[in-house]
Chain A
Amino acid sequence: MSGVWVYVEHSGGEISTVSREALGAGRKAADGLGQPLTALVFGHDVAEAAKSAFSYGADAVLGADDETLADVRIEAHGELLTKLVTDRTPAVVMAGGTNNGRDVLAWAAAGLDAGMVVDGIDIDVDGDTVKVTRPVYAAKLLATAFVTEGTQFMTLRSRALPAAEATDNSGEAEWVEAAMAEDDIRTKIVGYESAEGKISLTDANIIVSGGRGVGGPEGFEPIQELAAALGGAVGASRAAVDSGWIPYEHQVGQTGKTVSPDLYIACGISGAIQHQAGMRTSKVIVAINKDPEAPIFKIAQYGIVGDLFEVAPALTKLFKERLD
């Protein structure tokens, strides 16, 4: 069993940030094990993405270019992965911790009766084993998790590890056939509606979040303005979402999205444990709250006790000046 594989997600020839992070982690694992790093690039019209995978440090690329693989369908991508792992027995298969990455690897791992661990925020090579550190119990605890035998399947939490940088590395991809014909793939995608243009919370470098303290839907205006000045996304606590002030897709926390931006600014959020579960792995946390006793200050790096309706606009003004 040898080789570290990274299942790469891409669109329009570009490799996604999470997959670049996975390639970075894959490099670390491959070097630690003394084995080559192979990128798996499945899709349709993927020549560019395959090239790009080399530039992000892959020693080899296993590509599959077929219409049936154009959109990620669990069966089509998962069966191909299953077949390749059966034939070539890699030591490690990694992916970014996206819905697709987790689903495709889970399908293959179940088919192969292999072990799988998810959501690594760090990895470490110990002998032949790649160990991941991961949050468990709603990110209230950490665990070291690993696969004890056979091919080691794993996913990495997005934004936890540094993305591989582009280099001038290049190479020739090896091309393989799809594993399933269209007639055998049961899921058919009949429509797609994108919410283009919005910065997705999980990808954002900077998130400005509002809670019950914003007081109403219009209270999100200063939050939005601060986020816009910083090129960031808008988050919210469940209390704000449940009050109907902002749609659910903005909710951060245990029953919302899990985020780890470089900067998380919590405005008018008390910092309930369920909210913390979704944001405590952020690199720098700033809390703005009227109440000096609010629990959010316990996990923040910087705190301002004050009215968010004064502090947020003051920050927006300064950031606009400094970033111009």
Chain B
Amino acid sequence: MNVVVCTKQTPSTTAVYEVKDGVVSWEDPGGKPLVVNPWDEYAIEEAIRVAENHGADKAIALTYGASEATEVLKTCLAMGCKEAVLVSDEAFAGSDAVATARILAAAVNKLDDVQLLVFGKQAIDGDTGLTPVMVARKLGWTPITYVSAIKEIGDGQITVERVRGNGKETVTAPLPAVISVVKEINEPRYPSFMGIRKAGKAKIPTWTASDLEVDGPVGGDASKADWSNVFTMPAREGSVEMIEGETVEEKASQLVDKLFEEKVI
């Protein structure tokens, strides 16, 4: 069996955004504007561990995005995934969560003998967290979200611990399954020097719409969710009231008064 990790390229966490005529752009003071979605690092690591510790033949990385997104696939290969596929086509642009799920499901169907899909818990651009469950629904596979530990994989079953409310739930389900993972599941490794060299030379295939049998419409026109009106947060800045006073007690007492006045206590 093979395990697939679905990962997305997103703006870095330090990106500084600008919106002009509804178009979002960003710059990164650290000079690395596009990164592996931070939540997906745990998914990549876990997929590799499933291959290392739970008998999967190999971990395959899958991303749908623009051509630059091959960079995240290189990171996956450098960390230890054995194969990577980029899904990219103009026709897909503007897809909402359901359309994205159709595209990813079609790509998974084209891969051989996949029994487990591993997702991050959400992507930090759209911040929706819908894709894992929607892909599971499209494939008809078992959905298990917010997994904090994989306990066992064998006999066509998977047993995991997942976050539920304030506690942890243990769940078993038959494969094939789709899981999304949370940060506490592992400590992602750094790519090795050898891994980076190998990834640099790897040929990563690109699958376009004509390579896939997508079940249903895709792209902006087919999407029923509209989020095109993006704007900057009303500034909180400049409104701070600094509490002055001779002593700590005086400052504390003034602040306490203000907070009672605000009725937040």
Contacts and interface: CB of A to CB of B under 8 A. Distances in A.
A99 B224 contact: no
Contacts of A71: 169
Contact of B255 (A78, A286, A307): A286
A302 B241 contact: yes
Interface residues of A, number: 87
A192 B164 contact: yes
A179 to B, nearest CB: 14
Q: Which of A75, A119, A140 has the most CB of B within 10 A?
A: A140
Contacts of B142: 75, 186-187
Contact of B134 (A110, A119, A303): A110
B171 A187 contact: yes
Interface in B153-206: 159, 163-174, 183-184
Q: Which of A71, A106, A187, A300 has the most CB of B within 10 A?
A: A106
B17 interface: yes
Contacts of A135: 127, 233
A137 B127 CA distance: 7
B183 A109 contact: no
A107 B164 contact: no
B147 to A, nearest CB: 12
B98 A110 contact: yes
Interface in A140-181: 140-150
Contact of B13 (A191, A274, A315, A323): A274
B65 interface: no
A144 B24 contact: no
A88 interface: no
A239 interface: no
Interface string A50-65: 0000000000000000
B144 interface: yes
Contact of A254 (B13, B26, B229): B13
Q: Which of B24, B96, B125, B133 has the most CB of A within 10 A?
A: B133
A307 B231 CA distance: 37
Chief secondary structure at chain B's binding surface: mixed
Contacts, number: 250
B166 A319 contact: no
A314 interface: yes
A228 interface: no
A145 B170 contact: no
Interface stretch (B44-52, B81-89, B108-116, B246-254): B246-254
Contacts of A111: 137
Contacts of A114: 98, 224
Given A149-B224, A188-B172, A138 B127 contact: yes
Contacts of B265: 206, 230, 263, 319, 323
Interface string A287-299: 1000010000111
Contacts of B137: 78, 106-107, 110-111
A70 interface: no
Interface stretch (B53-61, B70-78, B256-264): B256-264
Nearest to A286: B255
B226 interface: yes
A147 B225 contact: yes
Given A116-B225, A193-B168, A254 B134 contact: no
Contacts of B169: 71, 189, 191-193
Given A110-B137, A196-B166, A115 B225 contact: yes
A195 to B, nearest CB: 5
Interface string B84-100: 00000000000011100
B17 A140 contact: yes
Contacts of A146: 225-226
Identify the 10 closest CB pairs spanning chains A and B, nearest first. A115-B224, A194-B167, A314-B252, A191-B170, A110-B137, A110-B134, A106-B133, A145-B227, A263-B264, A115-B225
25 contacts: A75-B143, A103-B133, A115-B96, A118-B127, A118-B130, A119-B128, A135-B127, A137-B24, A137-B124, A137-B125, A141-B17, A141-B233, A148-B224, A187-B143, A187-B172, A188-B171, A191-B169, A191-B170, A200-B165, A280-B233, A302-B258, A304-B251, A314-B249, A314-B253, A322-B256
Given A205-B264, A317-B252, 12 more contacts: A103-B145, A118-B130, A134-B227, A135-B233, A136-B125, A139-B127, A147-B224, A248-B184, A273-B13, A299-B237, A300-B240, A314-B248
Interface of B: 11, 13-15, 17, 19, 24, 26, 38-39, 96-98, 101, 124-130, 133-134, 136-138, 142-146, 159, 163-174, 183-184, 216, 223-233, 236-243, 248-249, 251-253, 255-256, 258-260, 262, 264-265
